């Protein structure tokens, strides 16, 4: 016998967009059911943002130990204990996962663990471990996210060929790895594994890594990562992965010339595809694999909303948070919008990369006449005390000095980018930030100087 549950809002998917939508809808007084097949928190909490950053902290600590002599401390880096690093990562994830469950429970959100399939615009069937539940809702929000994509390469399913999900739970660190893909996921894992002593090679089909980032930032990051020992094969097309006696061999070609890179593991990091097979019964408008929504996050079907990775665009957890919130508010009669002009993006390499708004190239392509300010961290007192000399801040402004973009390569870039995000949100002028007193010594002074440099009046440049 099928069990039936009625609710105001049904949210399908418990990742960043989904759980935020559920909590916000509950705050607004709705009776909410949240359906999640796996673990609450989605990719971000369980196999993405959080676990990778926990392991990157291990890599950062290893790098600090290796450079301790510069700070007057004698010692040497022993081999990293991967088991302990993974155990710490698991504790962090478990703590946040437990807290999220308690948060949803406190808000009165009913959680159903099982695989949901949309039957009609008001009905979802959920297959749990021991029963089928029919969820009837007035409105639904689709937030089922994305999964790692595997390209059609011969040998892609061989043992030892892994995705980012498996990379987080390796039994031991490999001696060597080839990472196919020079996007965010590939670059972050390269930084992580290289810092822990793994011989790392990135093979990228395009002639650059991180193609959507500022060219100056990417050029400098590439130099830094090469100095750190990471090898890059750019403009390289992978044709096959072969099993060898001692591991794997990746066959690739550059300019028609074939080469082989031998390694112990291969990490496939060529992007993610939308997890859309569970609502095929709905006549949704799909474009380039993504659900098309309007500014209210509503699909072409009235009363059906979508948020997060499903809607395409930037696959960012913090953007999904805002889209989930917006979908819930609009589903319950409010009028909310997402400001897509001020969405920060962070890449947790060593050093970090962070950006917001338009790059210099994007602004010029849009026909905007720009002013650009730059400031190097090697001229920043706090950066020198920290031993973090590499990188710079870049600020892009229009002819009225309004900040329209900003990029940072350097230590704690992910923490610093919020100042520029706020500036773009408030349509602030570069001279406003240049005249704002920043604490000394601090890394944020580099933003002050870069904003002053827009008008050619940086002090320490």
Of 242, 311, 244, give the one whose Cα is nearest residue 276: 311
On whether 121 is known to bind a ligand per the annotation, the reply is no
Q: Residue 139 in 3-state DSSP?
A: strand
On whether 424 is known to bind a ligand per the annotation, the reply is no
Spell out the residues 6+ positions from residue 186 whose beta carbon is closer than 8 angstroms to its own: 179, 180, 202, 204, 209, 267, 269
What stretch of H or E contains 423? Answer: helix 413-425
Burial 438-450 (b: 16+ CB within 10 A, else e): beeeebbbbbbbb
Of 69, 65, 8, give the one whose Cα is nearest residue 34: 8
On whether 309 is known to bind a ligand per the annotation, the reply is yes
Question: What one-character DSSP code corresponds to residue 437?
Answer: P
On whether 313 is known to bind a ligand per the annotation, the reply is no
On whether 53 is known to bind a ligand per the annotation, the reply is yes
Q: Residue 268 in 3-state DSSP?
A: strand
Half-sphere exposure of 433 (CA within 13 A, CB side): 33
On whether 183 is known to bind a ligand per the annotation, the reply is yes
On whether 101 is known to bind a ligand per the annotation, the reply is no
Active site residue 285: no
Distances in whole angstroms, Cα of residue 161 to Cα of each of 80, 82, 153, 273, 423: 23, 19, 11, 18, 43
**Residue from 318, 438, 440, 460 carrying the catalytic annotation:** 440
On whether 155 is known to bind a ligand per the annotation, the reply is no
Count helices and strands (H / E) in the chain: 13, 24
On whether 29 is known to bind a ligand per the annotation, the reply is no
CB 377 within 8 A of CB 322: no
Of 12, 36, 9, 41, give the one whose Cα is nearest residue 24: 9
On whether 390 is known to bind a ligand per the annotation, the reply is no
Q: Residue 383 in 3-state DSSP?
A: helix
CB 136 within 8 A of CB 118: no
On whether 204 is known to bind a ligand per the annotation, the reply is yes
Burial degree of 413 (CB within 10 A; 0-12, 13-18, 19+): buried
CB 255 within 8 A of CB 167: no
On whether 41 is known to bind a ligand per the annotation, the reply is no
On whether 118 is known to bind a ligand per the annotation, the reply is no
Q: Which residues are annotated as a binding site for NAD(+)?
A: 181-188, 204, 271
Q: Which residues are catalytic?
A: 440
Q: Which residues are annotated as a binding site for FAD?
A: 53, 116, 309
């Amino acid at each position: 016998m099928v069990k039936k549950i009625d609710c105001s809002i049904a949210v399908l998917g418990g990742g960043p967009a989904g759980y935020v939508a559920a909590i916000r809808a509950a705050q607004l007084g709705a009776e909410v059911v949240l359906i999640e097949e796996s673990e609450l928190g989605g990719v971000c909490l369980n196999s993405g943002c959080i676990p990778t950053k926990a392991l990157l902290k291990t890599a950062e600590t290893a790098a600090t130990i290796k450079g301790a002599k510069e700070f007057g401390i004698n010692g040497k880096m022993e081999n990293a204990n991967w088991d302990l690093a993974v155990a710490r990562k698991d504790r962090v994830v478990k703590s946040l996962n437990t807290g999220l469950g308690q948060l949803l429970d406190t808000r009165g959100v009913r959680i159903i663990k099982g695989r949901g399939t949309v039957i009609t615009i008001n009905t979802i069937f959920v297959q749990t471990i021991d029963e089928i539940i029919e969820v009837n809702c007035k409105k639904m929000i689709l937030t089922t996210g994305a999964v790692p994509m595997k390209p059609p390469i011969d040998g892609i399913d061989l043992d030892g060929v892994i995705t980012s999900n498996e990379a987080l739970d390796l039994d031991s660190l490999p001696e060597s790895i080839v990472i196919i893909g020079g996007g965010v996921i590939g670059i972050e894992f390269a930084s992580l594994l290289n810092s822990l002593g793994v011989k790392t090679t990135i093979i990228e089909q395009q002639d650059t890594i991180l193609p959507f980032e500022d060219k100056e930032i990417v050029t400098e990051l590439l130099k830094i990562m090469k100095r750190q020992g990471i090898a890059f094969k750019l403009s390289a097309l992978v044709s096959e992965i072969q099993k060898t006696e001692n591991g794997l061999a990746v066959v690739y070609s550059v300019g028609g010339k074939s080469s082989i890179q031998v390694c112990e593991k291969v990490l496939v990091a060529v992007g993610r595809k939308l997890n859309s097979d569970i609502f095929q019964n709905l006549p949704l408008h799909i474009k380039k694999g993504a659900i098309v929504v309007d500014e209210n996050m509503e699909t072409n079907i009235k009363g059906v909303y979508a948020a997060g990775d499903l809607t395409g665009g930037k696959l960012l957890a913090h953007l999904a948070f805002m889209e989930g919130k917006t979908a819930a508010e609009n589903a319950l009669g409010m009028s909310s919008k997402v400001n897509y002009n001020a969405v920060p993006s962070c890449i947790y390499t060593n050093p970090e990369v962070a950006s917001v708004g338009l790059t210099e190239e994007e602004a010029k392509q849009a026909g905007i006449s720009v002013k650009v300010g730059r400031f190097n961290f090697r001229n920043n007192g706090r950066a020198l005390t920290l031993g973090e000399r590499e990188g710079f801040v870049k600020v892009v402004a229009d002819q009225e000095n309004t900040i329209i973009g900003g990029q940072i390569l350097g230590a704690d870039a992910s923490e610093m980018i919020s100042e520029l995000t706020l500036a773009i949100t408030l349509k602030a002028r570069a001279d406003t930030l240049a005249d704002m007193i920043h604490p000394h010594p601090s890394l944020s002074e580099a933003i002050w100087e870069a904003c002053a440099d827009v008008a050619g009046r940086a002090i320490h440049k």
